């Protein structure tokens, strides 16, 4: 009888502290103090406390680490291919998770391996008019980190992005969905206006054969074109446009 009172007391104390407790049996019978009863008590207490007592994903989310350990290195030029193969969360799924956390317009997506592991970096213009940056686990879409950029728009070109998005019918999330339909795994979406009359969504993908591709999507019409394998200007050293 004393044994049962001690177990109950320990369990109650654990609940008050916000944790879980495991009731350990001290005899071999299958009565209330048996191992089977102890395991059941532990599960019930964990459920009551709001967790499983062993939720690895929750622990990783709490310390800001991804469930997919991966370091940033690109010695062989195959970094995007490895990241695309390892990611369990697609670009459209990452965008949806980010919008669930912060309603607004997705302006950028990037699959990246860094100290937290493999993550999706998402830039988002919130309905509150502020710029939000979120880091999501590429294994389960948990939000690992998020913050608001308090800098002025013009300090980081956000003012230009605001202007370019006016009249757009497709944000970065839509561009990711369009590209993912027939063009492989999306690894990056960015609004780009380099050497162009107007801005386009620049989408990078990796196809099943391990090749990387770049797609250009018009934010207004949604028209999709495949960029040349190599930008002519990238290979020039004369400093002049072709």
Q: Convert the pLDDT of each residue in 217-230 to its tens digit.
A: 999 999 999 987 65
Length of the chain: 242
Q: Residue 35 burial by CB count (10 A; 0-12/13-18/19+): exposed, middle or buried?
A: middle
pLDDT (0 to 100) of residue 43: 35
The mean of the pLDDT values for the chain is: 74
Which residue has better confidence, 173 or 19? 173
Least confident of 139-153, 208-222, 224-238: 224-238
What is the enclosing helix (H) or strand (E) of 239?
none
Q: Check whether 130 has a pLDDT greater than 80.
A: yes
Q: What share of the chain in percent tops pLDDT 70? A: 63
Q: Check whether 31 has a pLDDT greater than 90.
A: no
How is domain 79-235 classified at the CATH fold level? Nuclear Transport Factor 2; Chain: A, (3.10.450)
Residue extents of the structural domains in the chain: 2-54, 79-235
For residues 20-44, average pLDDT: 36
Q: Check whether 15 has a pLDDT greater than 50.
A: no
The Cα angle at residue 72 between residues 71 and 73, in degrees rounded to 5 = 110
Task: Specify whether the CB–CB gap between 121 and 109 falls below 8 A.
Answer: yes
Task: Specify whether the CB–CB gap between 15 and 42 falls below 8 A.
Answer: no
Q: Convert the pLDDT of each residue in 55-91 to its tens digit.
A: 334 434 557 889 999 887 766 778 899 999 999 999 9
Q: Check whether 168 has a pLDDT greater than 60.
A: yes
For residues 12-21, average pLDDT: 41
Q: What's the CA gap between 12 and 143, in Å, rounded?
A: 32
pLDDT (0 to 100) of residue 27: 38
Residue position matching structure tokens 């391996």: 113
Q: Check whether 141 has a pLDDT greater than 90.
A: yes
Q: Residue 134 burial by CB count (10 A; 0-12/13-18/19+): exposed, middle or buried?
A: buried
User: 3-state class of 72 per DSSP?
Assistant: coil
Model confidence at 203, pLDDT cuts 50, 70, 90, reads: very high
Model confidence at 143, pLDDT cuts 50, 70, 90, reads: very high
């Amino acid at each position: 009888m004393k044994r049962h009172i001690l177990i109950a007391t320990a369990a109650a104390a654990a609940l008050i502290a916000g944790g879980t407790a495991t009731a350990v049996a001290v005899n071999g019978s299958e009565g209330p103090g048996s191992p089977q009863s102890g395991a059941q008590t532990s599960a019930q207490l964990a459920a009551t406390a709001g967790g499983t007592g062993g939720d690895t994903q929750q622990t990783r989310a709490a310390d800001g680490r991804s469930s997919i350990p991966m370091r940033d290195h690109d010695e062989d030029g195959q970094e995007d291919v490895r990241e695309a193969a390892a990611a369990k969360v697609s670009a459209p799924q990452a965008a949806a998770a980010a919008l669930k956390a912060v309603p607004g317009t997705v302006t950028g997506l990037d699959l990246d391996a860094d100290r937290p592991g493999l993550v999706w970096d998402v830039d988002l213009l919130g309905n509150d008019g502020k710029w939000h940056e979120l880091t999501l686990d590429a294994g389960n879409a948990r939000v690992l980190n998020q913050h608001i950029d308090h800098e002025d728009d013009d300090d980081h070109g956000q003012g230009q992005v605001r202007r370019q998005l006016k009249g757009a019918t497709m944000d970065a999330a839509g561009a990711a969905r369009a590209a993912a339909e027939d063009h492989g795994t999306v690894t990056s979406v960015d609004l780009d206006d380099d050497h162009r009359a107007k801005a386009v969504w620049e989408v990078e993908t990796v196809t099943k054969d391990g090749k990387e591709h770049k797609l250009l999507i018009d934010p207004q019409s949604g028209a999709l074109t495949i960029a040349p394998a190599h930008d002519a200007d990238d290979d020039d050293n004369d400093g002049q446009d072709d």
